[in-house]
Amino acid sequence: MFKIRMLVTAIALTGSLSVMAAEALPTTAPAPADNPTTAEKVELGKMLYHDPRLSSTGTVSCASCHNTMLGGEDNRPNSMGVNGQTGGRSAPTVWNAAFNKVQFWDGRADSLEAQAAGPVTNPIEMGMKSWDDVVARLKTIKGYRKAFDLAFGQDNETITKENATKAIAAYERTLITPNSAYDKYVKGDTDAMNAQQVRGMKKAVELGCTNCHSGPAFNGPGVFQKFPMHPNGYFEAQYHFKKDKGLAEVTKNAGDEHMFKVPTLRNIALTAPYFHNGSVPTLDKAVKLMAKLQLDKDLSDEDTADIVAFLNALTGEFPKQTMPTLPGTPGSSFN
């Protein structure tokens, strides 16, 4: 919580980034010292990420809401968890999440490891009563013993909450989408983006979009931003943005109301619907709303189309995903 408060304290509501630093997306993500990335850990993490047996009903996995066959989320306004329940927020993309300084819309997790622990025991999402129950279940699945031992050694008990979340995080750090048209353009290929996309990039800088959506992942320096900055009763009646108090739901501090993690713009063309509550179905509408609610600007249709074209240039190359073979429980169910 201290880290969250420090980040909020550091935020500048009007940034000084008047120009966009031309940074291509890195092809690898840094790993913490206590969780170096290894092939064995990534393979185990991939299994756990796609295994619905980490949910109480055996029907929901991490991949259910963060689909790596698509844009890294589920294209729903609100994700569906166990027993058909839905929460109040739209699933953020898992692609390039390794470059977020904080995770979740309200930034309550400061690492991928911490994020991986949350949904499993959330009663609406995956619904397990505790991580002790998760570990106990994994221990009944014989094939997981070998996978955990390969990833973490055989000296001590390896099937633990800590190791499970480390493995999932290690897998997620491989989910990077480099080589977008924008990346190629900033590396010197001036033909990689067309004229409309270049106009849109320049307009985004001119308007101030990149004050918040900066850096190679277009997700800012890892701080929070208030949304909406310029309240508008007409739009609020349609989209109910302020119903969710954002970071204040975590800190219980009134000063944190409507503060949200700055989301990445990478692959944004693939992640409709938009905003924290998934209330806006199209990218052009989202662009116009952001201009009005954050910058108090009214965008023309032409400028909007140019910015949307630029945002499409941020769709990267997706690494090929092969589905893991999950360890079975021959002759019995997992319960």
Residue given tokens 């290690």 in the structure block = 170
Q: How far apart are CA 229 and CA 239, in angstroms?
A: 15
pLDDT at 244 over 50: yes
Is residue 184 assigned to a domain? Answer: yes
Q: Are residues 303 and 207 in the same domain?
A: yes
Residues 118, 65 within the same domain: yes
Average pLDDT for the chain: 92
For residues 55 and 139, state if they share a domain.
yes
Give a yes or no: residue 213 inside a domain: yes
Confidence of residue 215 (pLDDT cuts 50, 70, 90): very high
Q: Which of the listed residues 119, 149, 172 is the one where a domain comes to its end? A: 172
Q: Which residues are catalytic?
A: 125
The tokens describing 254, both together, are: 């009134």
| Structural domains counted in the chain | 2
The pLDDT tens digits for 33-58 are: 999 999 999 999 999 999 999 999 99
124 and 207 belong to one structural domain:
no
Q: Give, in degrees to the nearest 5, the angle at Cα 109 between 226 and 313.
A: 60
Same-domain pairing of 163 and 218:
no
Q: What is the pLDDT of residue 20?
A: 58
Average the pLDDT over 70-80 and give the result: 96
- How far is residue 129's CA from residue 226's CA, in Å, rounded to a whole number? 33
- Domain termination site, one of 108, 140, 172: 172
Q: Tens digit of pLDDT for each residue in 146-193?
A: 999 999 998 789 999 999 999 999 999 999 999 999 999 999 999 999
Residue 317: inside a domain, yes or no?
Answer: no
CATH of the domain at 224: 1.10.760.10
Q: Write the pLDDT tens digit of every residue in 90-148.
A: 999 999 999 999 999 999 999 999 999 999 999 999 999 999 999 999 999 999 999 99
Confidence (pTM): 0.93
Question: Which residues constitute the domain of residue 250?
Answer: 15-24+178-312
Residues 244, 284 within the same domain:
yes
On whether residue 155 sits in a domain, the answer given is yes
- Which amino acid is it at 163? N
Strands 224-226 and 259-261: what pairing? antiparallel
